[in-house]
């Protein structure tokens, strides 16, 4: 097999946006779900999705080229192993989130962000991402569903990599729909949990925990963790929270946790941990950092940057546990000086 030329490789990177939108539209049309029970014809898929048949055919041809679907005798389409990942509840929600208006527009503002230091999304909508979601509930729902899907895909690896069994009272700070807290409580039958978040996500968290049969061991609170967090726990979890904020705001959140925590408590921060020296294998992590730059104004951090941030927030980094998923579990102890 001939190795692609450097020019071809760069060209593939330049036009990669087309693949994102093909997968987003496939997810919006729920094509994978319609094909989950077996091959379908173009006409049947057009009727099921309400799509314009000639253009749907061209999309399916492109998805064939991307190895998401394949053709079978009888002019029908079926899912490949890759395409099966777009069936609910897997990566369909992630495709919808990354191809949605706020993500797309935030990235369109990358040049503005690099030139000015302002978030790309502010340039696009004259509002930060949280204000945007507050006034665009459909996009907020896509975001929540995408984050839940990503958490669901990594929750098992997180509880495998880190021993939550030594804790009896876990507070999940900004815990979203409760997916991670449910995984922790299932793994640690003697523990009880509290999830604190704000807005519509609170109701979804209650449903997640009740459906998992954990409602009697978990409390869900509606509150702004930038103001306060529940006191007295022996473990505080921050998953994909600190990367949403710059160092100043992240320090405020850490100090809220420290003020609530006994001196024997542990802080568990689940985030990407950037390498000190970046190689090609680290592309996803550093691109995620740019996503935070243009979308929330936050950042991904190296181990050294986490250590410094934690010190400023009243915590001492003890160890980073690797999960095999691109996420690290950063364990910190309460600083006795605070």
Say whether 146-334 and 6-86 share the same fold.
Answer: no
Q: What is the mean pLDDT of each run of 10 residues along the chain (338 residues)?
A: 89 95 96 95 97 98 98 95 86 93 96 96 94 93 90 92 97 95 97 94 93 96 96 97 97 98 97 94 95 97 98 97 94 89
In this prediction, residue 2 carries a pLDDT of 80
Residues 6+ apart with CB under 8 A from 279: none
Distance of CA 12 to the CA centre of its chain: 25
Contact 67, 81 (CB under 8 A): no
Return the CATH architecture of domain 6-86. Answer: Orthogonal Bundle (1.10)
pLDDT at 167: 98
Concatenate the DSSP letters of all residues of 179-243 into one string: HHHHHHHHH-TT-EEEEEE-TTHHHHHHHHHHHTT-GGGEEEEE--TTT---SS-SEEEEES-GG
Helix/strand/coil for 273: strand
Do the beta carbons of residue 240 and residue 269 sit within 8 Å?
A: no
Residues tagged active-site = 243
Q: Are 155 and 147 in contact (CB under 8 A)?
A: no
Interatomic CA distance for residues 294 and 112, integer angstroms: 9
Q: So what's the pLDDT on residue 89?
A: 67
Instruction: Quote the DSSP letter at residue 70.
Output: E
232 backbone φψ class: left, alpha, beta (φ>0; ψ -120 to 50) = left
The residues, ordered by sequence, that sit 6+ positions from 248 with a Cβ below 8 Å of its Cβ are: none
What is the distance between the alpha carbons of residues 66 and 60, in angstroms, rounded to a whole number?
10
Tell me the three state secondary structure of residue 310. Answer: helix
Q: What is the pLDDT of residue 244?
A: 97
Whether 165 contacts 189, CB under 8 Å: no
| Annotated domain spans of the chain | 6-86, 146-334
CATH number for the domain formed by residue range(s) 146-334 = 3.40.50.150
pTM (global) more than 0.85:
yes
What pLDDT, on the 0 to 100 scale, is given for residue 148?
A: 87
The number of angstroms, rounded, from the C-alpha of 223 to the middle of its chain's C-alpha atoms is: 21
């Amino acid at each position: 097999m001939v190795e692609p030329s450097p020019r071809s490789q760069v060209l593939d990177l330049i036009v990669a946006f087309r693949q994102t939108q093909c997968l987003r539209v496939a997810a919006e049309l729920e094509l994978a779900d319609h094909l989950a029970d077996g091959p379908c014809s173009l006409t049947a898929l057009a009727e099921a999705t309400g799509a314009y048949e000639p253009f749907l055919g061209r999309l399916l041809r492109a998805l064939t080229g991307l190895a998401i679907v394949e053709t079978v005798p009888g002019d029908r389409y079926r899912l490949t192993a890759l395409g099966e990942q777009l069936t609910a509840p897997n990566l369909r929600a992630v495709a919808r989130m990354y191809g949605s208006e706020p993500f797309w527009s935030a990235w369109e503002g990358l040049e503005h962000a690099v030139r000015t230091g302002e978030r790309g999304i502010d340039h696009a909508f004259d509002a930060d991402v949280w204000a945007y979601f507050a006034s665009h509930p459909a996009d907020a729902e896509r975001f929540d569903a995408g984050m839940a899907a990503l958490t669901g895909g990594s929750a098992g690896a997180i509880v495998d990599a880190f021993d939550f069994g030594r804790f009896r009272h876990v507070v999940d700070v900004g815990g979203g729909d409760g997916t991670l807290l449910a995984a922790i409580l299932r793994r640690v039958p003697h523990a009880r949990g509290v999830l604190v978040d704000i807005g519509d996500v609170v109701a979804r968290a209650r449903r997640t925990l009740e459906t998992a049969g954990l409602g009697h061991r978990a409390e869900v609170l509606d509150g702004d963790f930038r103001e306060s967090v529940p006191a007295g726990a022996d473990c505080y979890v921050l998953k994909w929270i600190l990367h949403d904020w710059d160092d100043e705001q992240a320090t405020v959140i850490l100090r809220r946790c420290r003020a609530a925590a006994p001196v024997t408590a542990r802080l568990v921060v689940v985030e990407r941990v950037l390498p000190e020296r970046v190689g090609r294998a680290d592309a996803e992590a550093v691109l995620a950092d740019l996503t935070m730059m243009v979308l929330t104004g936050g950042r991904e951090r190296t181990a050294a940057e986490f250590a410094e941030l934690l010190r400023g927030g009243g915590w001492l980094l003890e160890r980073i546990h690797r999960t095999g998923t691109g996420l690290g579990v950063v364990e910190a102890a309460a600083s006795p000086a605070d």
